[in-house]
Structure 1
Amino acid sequence: MQWVECDLCGSSEVAVLFTQRDVRPPAPVQSFRIVECRGCGLLFLNPRPEAPEMAAYYPEVYYDDLESMGPRPARRSSSLRRLRKQVRRALLERFYGYPPTNPDPDSAWSPLPKIMETALLRLERCRLRVSGREAAIIPFVGEGRLLDVGCAGGKDLQRLQEMGWNVTGVEFSPTAASIARARLGCEISVGDFEQVALKDEAFDVVRFSHTLEHLPSPKRALEKAHRILRPDGLLWMEVPNAASLERWLFGRHWYCWDLPRHLYHFSPQTLARLVSSTGFRPVKIKCDGRTLFFRESLANAWKRWLGASPQPSKLLSLLARPVVYAMGAMNRGGILTIHARKDRPGADGSPGGRVSGRSDGATP
């Protein structure tokens, strides 16, 4: 086991929050503890397994899109699902700069009159804003280069590629990386992000989707991200929100502790401070929720209180959905998303100034 100092402020003064075993089967005997830095409030695992030991805590099934290795049952299509997909694509084209999928300007995605179509899109956009999920959208920059750090089997990258991005990824698991290559037809680098060779100022977007909390030094990772991003490039990150109502509701049973795989646990304040300390300018911070994570937290608590896990059900998800939505509307959801910019240098080579009122293309 390795003892570490706070990666954000360097302090070694910590307070122990709790000690807990890994909840993923097979349950090991070893316990792990979460501490809070007395200097800056960052939560992290301390002590933690050495790097060579960590691989044992990552079973293949940890990557949710590795199911593509085998045959998958056909998913029954529905008119509602197709409509939702069409609405989402039209929303991206109307408000976020994405290219049209149909080059015919007279071709409508829906049979509705234009005024009703616009009203429907604005209603959907309002729903995304209220729930906090608008922050999950990456503004389009015109076939820009996008790097996904921790891309797993490439499911998210495939969606981004279909939306017009020039994508590539970095993945620690060779198995997951090979699936991503087959899925995307592009190069996927294998290994630790800090060690992978990447050119300076080569990307328009660097994306960390539930990756930063796994890395041994988030600060070094963001310093590298700053180096490989072009001026005014976008850093997009999504991590569990350690200041969420979900975390306070479930306590040590919160699903996103995920010990010992999650080494760090960020609040909006600690993540914004980390981003600023590595040369970025935060432009958007939102906290929404995910029904899946809430349901898994409930299952962890249920097992602890009653000694048995509830069976996953659509009813449980439906009951959780309004709670998760309400938490997102209060900006206290379990998932924290941040957009940050690498400033353009000034005429004298100094960093550019703050861009007042910037909205990352989110304003029609």
Structure 2
Amino acid sequence: MNKNFIVKDHSVSQEEFTLIHNKELDYYITTPVPKNLDLYYESDSYISHTDSTQSLQDKLYQSVKKINLRNKITLINQYTTNSKSVLDVGAGTGDFLKQAQLNGWTIAGVEPNPKARDLAEKKNINLSSSLEEITEPLYDVITLWHVLEHLPNLETQISKLHNLLKPNGTLIIAIPNFKSYDAKYYKEFWAAYDVPRHLYHFSRKAIDRIFSKHKFELIRTKPMLFDAFYVSLLSEKYKTGKPNYIRAFMVATISNIQGFFNKEPSSIIYVLKKT
């Protein structure tokens, strides 16, 4: 799918947005961008800004989040110096930073949503409201777990991230992959488009090309296997009006198997080195 198409905001406004394909870099841009984008995050269903365990879907999300937290700590431990400092951009309710702190990391984080910051503060995690507030020190590792696609002024933000990293520092990004099997299966109902909150929709090629311009070298990628199941479950609900667990499981399983062979899983972690 390399042409413009329309996607609906299924979770909040029910409005339609157009995804415009950038052929040179191979990514999509959401248009138009609402003037007050913050309003599109004001939803109880936006689970990364809550610690909700009310529904079965919430419980599944929180259970998987615990597993992912352990995996994230294992990953960042591979890219550290003795100082072990990490900046998490889009820190949500602070769970990743809390685990990093418990594992000996000096932590800092950014989260624009005030409700999420309040929940993080209750865990003794104090977050800045914007990346512009972070001026020092320099960090060994900077992480963006499903955050890059939300950032306005993308090129400016990437330059800022580069400046905040120590020499040879590591940038770790997790984002959805619109070239995955589940994205192609669900098409405009694919939950990971999540317009207009997701301003950009990246391919592997796009990440390599965009970040190389900003003096980053892509050194490694990893699939996020659980994402295919969660995204497929949401996509089923958007497409059919109900969460078809069996079909979502089948689609996610196929997506993960295909992703193993063609390197196009539902979500990808990119590890980039500052050069």
TM-score in terms of structure 1 length: 0.64
Higher mean C-alpha displacement, 214-223 vs 263-272: 214-223
For residue 328 of structure 1, report the CA deviation from its aligned partner. Answer: 3.5
Structure with the largest fraction of helix = 2
**Contact 1:288 / 1:332 at 8 angstroms: preserved in 2?**
no
Q: Partners of 2:266 and 2:135 in 1: how far apart?
A: 32
Percent identity for Structure 1 against Structure 2 = 24
**Contact 2:219 / 2:272 at 8 angstroms: preserved in 1?**
yes
Q: Partners of 2:165 and 2:120 in 1: how far apart?
A: 22
**Cα deviation digits, residues 154-178 of structure 1 (max 9, x gap):** 1222222223221110010122112
1:235 aligns with 2:174: no
User: What is the 5 A alignment of 1:127-166?
Assistant: 138-139=77-78, 141=80, 142-166=82-106
1:38 aligns with 2:30: no
Residues 325 and 38 of structure 1: CA distance in aligned 2, closer, same or farther (over 3 Å): closer
Q: Partners of 1:47 and 1:246 in 2: how far apart?
A: 25
Q: Partners of 2:7 and 2:264 in 1: how far apart?
A: 25
For residue 67 of structure 1, report the CA deviation from its aligned partner. Answer: 2.5
Residues 69 and 278 of structure 1: CA distance in aligned 2, closer, same or farther (over 3 Å): same
Q: Partners of 1:37 and 1:321 in 2: how far apart?
A: 27
Instruction: Give 2:135's match in structure 1, choosing from 167, 180, 198.
Output: 198
Q: Partners of 2:4 and 2:186 in 1: how far apart?
A: 14
Q: Which has the higher contact order (CA 8 A, sep 6+)?
A: 2
Aligned to 1:20: 7
Residues 320 and 162 of structure 1: CA distance in aligned 2, closer, same or farther (over 3 Å): farther
For residue 205 of structure 1, report the CA deviation from its aligned partner. Answer: 0.6
Q: Partners of 1:68 and 1:31 in 2: how far apart?
A: 27
Aligned to 2:38: 55
Instruction: Give 2:236's match in structure 1, choosing from 298, 303, 306.
Output: 298
Q: Which amino acid aligns with 1:340?
A: L
1:189 aligns with 2:172: no
**Cα deviation digits, residues 133-169 of structure 1 (max 9, x gap):** xxx5551524511000000101222222223221110
**Contact 1:150 / 1:211 at 8 angstroms: preserved in 2?**
yes
Aligned to 1:340: 272
**Contact 1:36 / 1:43 at 8 angstroms: preserved in 2?**
yes
**Cα deviation digits, residues 85-122 of structure 1 (max 9, x gap):** 8xx79xx8xxx6xxxxxxxxxxxxxxxxxxxxxxxxxx
**Contact 2:76 / 2:141 at 8 angstroms: preserved in 1?**
no
For residue 316 of structure 1, report the CA deviation from its aligned partner. Answer: 5.7
Q: Which amino acid aligns with 2:9?
A: D
Task: Give unpaired runs (5+ residues) of structure 2.
Answer: none
For residue 230 of structure 1, report the CA deviation from its aligned partner. Answer: 0.5
Structure with the largest fraction of strand = 2
Q: Partners of 1:321 and 1:45 in 2: how far apart?
A: 25
Q: Partners of 1:137 and 1:233 in 2: how far apart?
A: 11
Query: Moved runs in structure 1, 4+ residues, more than 6 A?
Result: none
Aligned residue-pair number: 257
Aligned to 1:309: 242
Task: Give unpaired runs (5+ residues) of structure 1.
Answer: 1-14, 76-80, 97-135, 344-364
Q: Which amino acid aligns with 1:153?
A: T
**Contact 1:65 / 1:155 at 8 angstroms: preserved in 2?**
no
Residues 203 and 214 of structure 1: CA distance in aligned 2, closer, same or farther (over 3 Å): same
Q: Partners of 2:93 and 2:129 in 1: how far apart?
A: 12
Aligned to 2:116: 176
Q: Partners of 2:177 and 2:120 in 1: how far apart?
A: 28
Q: Partners of 1:180 and 1:68 in 2: how far apart?
A: 14
Residues 324 and 168 of structure 1: CA distance in aligned 2, closer, same or farther (over 3 Å): same
Instruction: Give 1:255's match in structure 2, choosing from 185, 191, 195.
Output: 191
For residue 293 of structure 1, report the CA deviation from its aligned partner. Answer: 1.1
Q: Partners of 2:49 and 2:189 in 1: how far apart?
A: 25
Q: Partners of 2:77 and 2:173 in 1: how far apart?
A: 10
Residues 324 and 159 of structure 1: CA distance in aligned 2, closer, same or farther (over 3 Å): farther
Q: Which amino acid aligns with 1:276?
A: S
SS in 1 for 2:122: helix
CA RMSD of superposed structures (Å) = 2.8
For residue 19 of structure 1, report the CA deviation from its aligned partner. Answer: 1.7
Q: Which amino acid aligns with 2:231?
A: F
Instruction: Give 1:66's match in structure 2, choosing from 42, 45, 50.
Output: 50
